[in-house]
C-alpha cells in the first residue's frame, strides 16, 4: 500500500517548476513567470498547511523512504511560506530591473521541493540528494545579479566552502553505512549505539558528519565564509540564501540527532562550540557599518542558537526547528525589505527614514527587533524556547555564555533602528500609525504562539518526543 502524501508537495512544486520552465520559452508568457511562480509557491504553502491540519498523524510511503502529513507537512508549509515571501521580493527586483533573467523563479520552486522533502526523508540517499539540491540552488541564487560587484565573488566562495562541507558529510555518511549496512534512518534507531561508542570508525564518521553540518550551519571553527557570502550576496535573493542554508543544516542535523545516539560529552562539546560561536558572531557584528554584512555576522550567532537547541534533547530539537522556521521567515523579510532601497546599505543612509517613510521604517524596525529577540515579538519566544530547553538539558555554562552573546545582539540590532529615527525633517508620527504598529507587534507575538502549540502537538504525535531504546 503506497502513500502519496509524502511526495504531494514535492510533486506539485516540481511539476509546477517544469511548467514554468516550459512557459519561459514562449515570449508572450515570459512576463508572467514571476506571478505564476509565486502562485505555485503559495499553493504549496496552502497544500502543506491543509495536509498538516487534516492528517496530523504522519504516514510513511515509497518503501518507507519518505514521511508525509503531520509535523512534516507543517515544516514544509513553513519552508514554502519563507520561499514564497522571498520570491515576491525577487519579483519586485525583477520588475525594477535589478535582476533581468527569469530562471531564478523555477529554480527556487525546485529548491522548495527539495527542502520540503528533507525533514520528511527517512533514507540517507534522499536526504543527501535533497540537501545538495538546496545547496546548489543557493550558490546560484547568491550570484544572481550581473551588475552587483560583490555577488560573483560571494557565490564562488559559498560554492567552494559548501562543496568542501558536502564532501566531509558524504565521507562521514559512507563510514556510517559501512558500520551499519543500511541507509534507512529508522533502521539506525533501534541499534545499540552504546556498543559503538568506543569504536574509532564510529567516532570518525560522527566527526566528519559534524564538520559537514557545522560548515552548512556556519558555526565557529567553520564560520568564516558566512559574513562574506551573506554580506556580498545579491541583495534581492540574500534573504532566501540565508534561510535555505540554515533550514538545510537544521533539518539534517535534527534528523541525525534523533536517530543516532551521540555520547553526552560530545553533545556538551557541541554546546560549548555553539556558545563560542554565539560570542564570536555577535562580537563580529558589533563593529560593522553595513547592514547586510552585520546580518551576515549575526547569522553565525543565529546558527549557534539553533545548534544549542539541536543538542538539547527531543524538546530542544523541536524548539530548534521552530526557531529555524522563524529565523528563515524573518531574515527573508528583513533582507527583502532592505533590498527595496537602491542605495548601499550603510547605517548612515538610513538617517531620517523613520520620518520620511514611516510605514517602511516601521516594518524594518519590527523585523530587526524580532531578530534581536524583543519580548512581544516571535523572535523572543523562539529564543526563549531554545534557552529553556538548553537549561533543562543541563548545559548551564554554554547557555549562559550564548545568552551573553544574545544580549550583545540587542545593541547592534538596535543601532540601525536608532539611525532611522534620528532627526531628518520633523514629521511627528500620527496616532493611527502608533495604534497600527502596536497592533502588529502584539499580533505577531500572539498568532505564532498558537502555531507553536500546533507544532508541539504534531511533533509529539509523530513520536519524536519518545526516548530511544
By CB under 8 A, name the binding residues for other proteins.
124-125, 128-129, 132, 136, 139-140, 143, 149-150, 152-157, 159-160, 163-164, 166-168, 170-171, 173-175, 177-178, 181-183, 227-228, 231-232
CB of 240 to other proteins, least distance (A): 16
Q: Cα 198 to the chain's mean position, in Å?
A: 34
Distance separating alpha carbons of residues 344 and 291, to the nearest angstrom: 9
CB of 448 to other proteins, least distance (A): 34
Return the bridge partners of 35, or none. Answer: none
Please name the residues in contact with 279: beta carbons below 8 A apart, sequence gap of 6 or more. 401, 402, 404, 405, 408
Q: What is the signed CA dihedral for 84, 114, 109, 445, rounded to 10 degrees?
A: 0
By CB atoms closer than 10 A (0-12, 13-18, 19+), residue 1 is: exposed
CB of 337 to other proteins, least distance (A): 22
Find cell 519563507 and name the residue. Answer: 82
CB of 287 to other proteins, least distance (A): 12
CB of 334 to other proteins, least distance (A): 20
Q: Which is nearer to other proteins, 134 or 368 (CB)?
A: 134
Q: Which is nearer to other proteins, 43 or 152 (CB)?
A: 152
Q: Which is nearer to other proteins, 174 or 422 (CB)?
A: 174
Rounded (10°) angle between helices 264-286 and 396-420: 20
CB of 139 to other proteins, least distance (A): 6
CB of 232 to other proteins, least distance (A): 5
CB of 48 to other proteins, least distance (A): 25
CB of 197 to other proteins, least distance (A): 21
Q: Which is nearer to other proteins, 88 or 290 (CB)?
A: 290
97 SS3 class: coil
| DSSP string computed for 188-231 | HTTS-GGGTTT-HHHHHHHHHHHHHHHHHHT-GGG-TTHHHHHH
Q: Which is nearer to other proteins, 124 or 219 (CB)?
A: 124
Enumerate long-range contacts of 175-179, CB under 8 Å, 24 or more apart. 175/201, 175/202, 175/204, 175/205, 175/208, 176/124, 176/205, 176/209, 177/124, 179/205
Residue 407: CB atoms within 10 Å: 12
Q: Which is nearer to other proteins, 171 or 400 (CB)?
A: 171
Distance separating alpha carbons of residues 445 and 102, to the nearest angstrom: 36
Q: Which is nearer to other proteins, 228 or 456 (CB)?
A: 228
CB of 216 to other proteins, least distance (A): 15
* Consecutive H or E run containing 460: helix 431-461
Q: Which is nearer to other proteins, 171 or 363 (CB)?
A: 171
Return the bridge partners of 346, or none. Answer: 290
Residue 295: CB atoms within 10 Å: 28
Q: Which is nearer to other proteins, 211 or 366 (CB)?
A: 211
Please provide the size of the chain in residues. 469
* Consecutive H or E run containing 67: strand 66-68
Q: Which is nearer to other proteins, 144 or 273 (CB)?
A: 144
Amino acid at each position: 500500500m503506497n502513500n502519496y502524501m509524502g511526495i504531494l508537495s514535492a510533486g506539485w512544486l516540481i511539476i509546477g517548476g517544469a511548467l514554468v520552465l516550459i512557459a519561459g520559452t514562449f515570449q508572450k508568457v515570459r512576463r508572467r513567470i514571476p506571478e505564476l511562480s509565486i502562485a505555485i509557491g503559495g499553493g504549496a504553502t496552502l497544500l502543506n498547511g491543509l495536509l498538516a491540519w487534516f492528517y496530523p498523524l504522519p504516514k510513511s510511503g515509497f518503501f518507507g523512504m519518505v514521511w508525509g502529513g503531520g509535523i512534516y507537512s507543517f515544516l514544509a508549509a513553513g519552508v514554502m511560506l519563507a520561499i514564497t515571501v522571498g520570491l515576491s521580493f525577487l519579483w519586485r527586483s525583477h520588475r525594477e530591473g535589478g535582476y533581468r533573467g527569469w530562471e531564478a523563479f523555477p529554480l527556487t520552486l525546485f529548491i522548495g521541493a527539495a527542502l520540503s522533502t528533507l525533514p520528511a526523508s527517512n533514507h540517507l540517499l534522499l536526504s543527501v540528494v535533497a540537501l545538495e539540491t538546496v545547496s546548489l540552488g543557493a550558490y546560484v541564487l547568491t550570484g544572481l545579479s550581473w551588475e552587483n560587484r560583490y555577488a560573483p565573488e560571494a557565490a564562488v566562495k559559498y560554492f567552494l566552502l559548501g562543496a568542501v562541507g558536502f564532501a566531509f558529510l558524504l565521507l562521514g555518511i559512507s563510514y556510517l553505512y559501512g558500520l551499519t549496512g543500511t541507509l534507512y534512518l529508522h533502521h539506525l534507531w533501534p541499534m545499540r549505539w552504546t556498543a559503538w561508542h568506543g569504536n574509532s570508525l564510529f567516532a570518525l564518521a560522527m566527526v566528519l558528519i559534524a564538520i559537514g553540518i557545522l560548515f552548512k550551519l556556519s558555526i565557529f571553527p567553520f564560520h568564516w565564509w558566512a559574513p562574506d557570502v551573506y554580506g556580498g550576496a545579491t541583495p534581492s535573493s540574500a534573504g532566501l540564501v540565508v534561510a535555505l542554508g540554515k533550514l538545510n543544516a537544521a533539518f539534517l542535523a535534527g534528523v541525525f540527532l534523533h536517530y543516532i545516539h551521540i555520547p553526552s560529552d560530545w553533545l556538551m562539546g557541541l554546546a560549548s562550540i555553539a556558545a563560542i560561536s554565539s560570542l564570536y558572531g555577535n562580537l563580529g557584528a558589533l563593529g560593522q557599518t553595513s547592514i547586510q554584512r552585520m546580518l551576515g555576522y549575526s547569522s553565525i550567532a543565529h546558527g549557534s542558537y539553533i545548534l544549542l537547541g539541536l543538542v538539547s534533547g527531543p524538546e530542544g530539537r523541536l524548539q530548534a526547528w521552530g526557531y529555524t522556521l522563524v529565523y528563515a521567515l524573518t531574515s527573508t523579510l528583513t533582507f527583502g525589505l532592505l533590498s527595496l532601497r537602491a542605495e548601499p546599505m550603510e547605517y548612515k543612509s538610513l538617517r531620517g527614514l523613520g520620518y520620511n517613510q514611516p510605514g517602511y521604517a516601521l516594518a524594518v524596525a519590527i523585523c530587526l527587533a524580532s531578530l534581536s529577540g524583543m519580548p512581544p515579538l516571535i523572535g523572543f519566544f523562539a529564543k526563549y524556547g531554545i534557552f529553556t530547553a538548553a537549561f533543562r538539558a543541563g548545559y548551564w555554562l554554554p547557555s549562559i555564555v550564548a545568552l551573553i552573546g544574545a544580549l550583545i545582539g540587542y545593541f547592534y540590532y538596535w543601532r540601525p533602528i536608532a539611525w532611522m529615527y534620528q532627526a531628518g525633517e520633523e514629521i511627528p508620527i500620527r496616532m493611527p500609525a502608533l495604534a497600527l504598529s502596536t497592533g502588529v507587534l502584539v499580533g505577531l507575538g500572539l498568532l505564532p504562539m498558537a502555531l507553536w502549540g500546533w507544532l508541539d502537538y504534531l511533533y509529539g504525535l509523530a513520536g519524536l518526543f519518545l526516548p530511544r531504546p
